[in-house]
Structure 1
Amino acid sequence: MPLEDLAPELLDFVERYIDQFASWDVLVYFHENPDAERRLSEVALEIGRRVSLIQPVVENLRDSGIVREEPNEADEPTYRYSAPAEFRVKMGAFIDATRDRTNRLAIVSKVLQKEARRL
Structure 2
Amino acid sequence: MKSVQRSQGPVKEVDVDLLVFIERYANDLLKWDLICFFARNPNLYDTAENVAHRIGRNPRVVRSELSDLAMLGVLERDSLNSTHIYHLTQHPDLRHLALRFARHLNGGKMMGK
* TM-score normalised by length of structure 1: 0.68
- Structure 2 unaligned regions, length at least 5: 1-12, 108-113
> Is the 1:65–1:83 Cα contact (8 Å) retained in structure 2?
no
1:50 deviates by 0.9
Tell me if 1:97 matches 2:104.
yes
1:68 deviates by 2.2
CA distance in 2, matches of 1:25, 1:83: 19
Aligned residues: 96
CA distance in 1, matches of 2:50, 2:24: 25
* TM-score normalised by length of structure 2: 0.71
**Deviating 4+ runs (over 6 angstroms):** none
CA distance in 1, matches of 2:75, 2:103: 21
Q: Choose between structure 1 and 2: higher helix proportion.
A: 1
Amino acid at match of 1:77: H
CA distance in 2, matches of 1:59, 1:80: 11
1:26-37 correspondence runs (5 A) = 26-37=34-45
Identity, in percent, stands at 22
Tell me if 1:12 matches 2:20.
yes
Residue 22 of structure 1: aligned partner: 30
| Structure 1 residues 83 and 16: alpha-carbon distance in aligned structure 2, compared to 1, 3 A threshold | farther
Q: Which has the larger radius of gyration?
A: 2
CA distance in 1, matches of 2:68, 2:90: 13
Residue 81 of structure 1: aligned partner: 88
CA distance in 2, matches of 1:7, 1:36: 27
Structural RMSD (CA): 2.1
CA deviation string 1:74-105 (max 9, x = no partner)? x53221222411112212221232234xxxxx
